[in-house]
Amino acid sequence: MSFDEKVKRGLENVKKVFVIGLDSAPPELLFSRFLDDQPNIKWLVERSIYGPMQSTIPAITIPAWMVMATGKTPGELGLYGFRHRKKGTYNDIWIAHSLMVKEKAVWHHIAEKGKKSVLVGIPPSYPPKPINGWLVSCFITPDASVDYTYPKELKGEIESLVGEYIFDVVFRKENRDEVKEQLWEMTEKRFEVIRYLIEEKNWDYFQFVEIGLDRVHHAFWKYFDENHHLYPGDDNPYRNVIPDYYKLLDKEIGKTLKLLDLDETAVLIVSDHGIKAMKGAFAINQWLIEEGLLKIKNPEILKEGRQVRFNELKVDWSKTTAWAWGGYYSRIFLNVKGREPQGIIPPEKFHQVRDDVAELIKNIRGPNGEKWNTKVFYPEDIYPTAKGDKPDMMVYLDDLNWRAAGTLGYKTPYLLENDLGPDDAVHAEYGVFSLYLPGMDESKQTQLTIYDFAPTVLRLFGMIKLLNGKSIV
C-alpha cells in the first residue's frame, strides 16, 4: 500500500484527535538530537507526517498558540504579544487574555458538529471561557486561588487529584535548583491531570500545552549549549537539565499514550515556535537616544551606572520621534501628531518617517561591527488586516539572535545578558509538527506553517473552513 493510501485509510479511521503541545520545542532537538533518547516520541515520529513548522510573526507564545488554533493572523486576532500599548498613551499597557480572542478556534468549529473538547493550558485561556467540554486555563492564570476551569466544578476535581495546580514557574532567577525542582513538579502534576481527564471525560478533541519546555530552555540553555557565549564548561552541574527534561516529557507522554486507542486516535505534536541561544540584549531606547530619535530632559540619569527603566526618563515628547519596548522582539512606536498626546510627526509624513527609522534600525551592527540580519515588519504589510493596538514596527534584532532590552543606562547598548534576569535563550522561527494517523507504520517528512494546523485538524473531523493555511492531509 502506498503512503498516500495509508494516509487515506488512516483518515477514515480517525474518531478522536489528541494534540500534544510543547511550547518552544525546536525540530533540531525534538526530531533530531534527542530523538533516540525519547522512545515514545520516536515511536510516534516514525509513524508520522512530520517536520519543521514555521511560526507566525512575531514568533511569540501569545499570539502563536491562538494563531495555530484559529488559523487567523495576529493582525486578525489583534494580538501582537503579551503586552499591548493602550491607545492614546505613551506607556500604559494591557495584558493579553482570553476575552480578547474573538475568532473561532478548532474546538468551536467541531462543537458545531456536537464534538466535545478537553483543553489544558492553551495560551491565552485565562479567564476560562465556556466551551463544549472542559477547560483548564494557561500560564497567565494569576494562581490557583482564582476560578481557572470550565466548568467551575472541574477545579475541585483537579485539586482532589494533585492538590494545588501549578500554571507556571518563575524561571528568571538565580536559584536554578529551585527552578528545576518546580519545573518537574509542575510537569508531573500537569500530566497527572491530563491522564485523569483522558479517562474521566467523554471527549473527541484533546489538546494540552506544556509551558515547562519553554521555561527549561530559557533557564538552562547556557549550561547545555557549548557554543553559548556564557557556557560555563562541561563540568557545570546543570549541563543535563535540558536533556533530562526532554526525557521526563517522553516518559510522561509514553504513560499518556497508553490510555489512547491508537487505532482510532490521531496524535499531533506541535510547538508554537523554536528556540536558540541568545547572543545578548540590545538596549534599544539607549540607541534611540544616541540617534537623536528619543529626547530626554534628565540625561544625567544615564550616567548613574545603574539599570534605568523607561518610566524613570523625563521624555521630551515635544522633540521625540520614536521609543521602543524590549522583549524577544522589539516594538517601536512613533510619536504621531493627533494620535499621541504630544505627537510631533504629521500624519502625512508617518510612512516616510517610519521608513527612515526602519532603515536606521536595519543598519544596526553588532558589538564588533559585524553585520546583523535585522528584520523590520510593518503590521499592515504582513497581515490581511491589523486590528487593535498594534505597534508601528516589529523588530527582530539580528533575526532574533539578540533580544531587545527595554531598560537603559549602560556603558554600551550591547548587554551580555537579559536585563530582566537570567535568560539564556531566544525564540526561533521554526517549531515542530508531527501527525500520526491510525494504522500508520511509516513516516514522511514535510514542512508547513503554523496556519496549516487548524485546517489539518478540521480535516481530521471531515470539515473544511476558509482559513489562512491548508490541510496537509
Measured distance CA(316)–CA(81) in Å, rounded: 27
Residues spanned by CATH 3.40.720.10 within the chain?
A: 3-276+427-461
pLDDT for 344:
98
Measured distance CA(278)–CA(423) in Å, rounded: 8
Angle at 360 between CA 283 and CA 406, to 5 degrees: 20
Q: Phi/psi class of residue 78: alpha, beta or left (left: φ > 0; alpha: ψ in -120 to 50)? A: left
C-alpha cell at 136: 483548564
Q: Which residues of 127-166 are buried (b: 16+ CB within 10 A; e: fewer)?
A: bbeebbbbbbbbbbbeeeeeebbbeeebbeebeeebeebb
> How many whole angstroms from its chain centre is CA 229?
24
pLDDT for 420:
82
427: three-class secondary structure by DSSP: strand
Q: Is the omega angle on the peptide bond into residue 58 within 30 degrees of 0, that is, cis?
A: yes
67: three-class secondary structure by DSSP: helix
Q: At what angle do helices 453-460 and 61-70 cross, to 10 degrees?
A: 40
Confirm if 250 and 35 have CB atoms less than 8 A apart: no
Confirm if 63 and 74 have CB atoms less than 8 A apart: yes
Amino acid found at 106: V
Query: How far does the chain reach from its first CA to its final CA, in angstroms?
Result: 17
Mean pLDDT by 10 residues, the chain (473 residues): 94 98 98 97 98 97 97 97 92 93 97 98 98 98 97 98 97 93 98 98 98 97 96 96 98 98 98 97 97 97 94 97 95 97 97 98 97 97 95 97 95 90 92 97 96 98 94 96
Angle at 82 between CA 79 and CA 86, to 5 degrees: 70
Residue in 11, 109, 14 with CA at minimum distance from that of residue 463: 109
pLDDT for 114:
98
Measured distance CA(348)–CA(315) in Å, rounded: 24
pLDDT for 5:
94
How far is CA 178 from each of CA 183, 186, 427, rounded to the nearest angstrom?
8, 12, 24
Confirm if 81 and 150 have CB atoms less than 8 A apart: no
CATH superfamily of 3-276+427-461: Alkaline Phosphatase, subunit A (3.40.720.10)
String of DSSP letters for 219-263: HHHHHH-TTSTT---TT-TTTTHHHHHHHHHHHHHHHHHTTS-TT
Phi, psi of 344 (to 5 degrees): -125, -15
pLDDT for 422:
85
Residue in 212, 196, 219, 215 with CA at minimum distance from that of residue 249: 212
pTM for this model (two decimals): 0.96
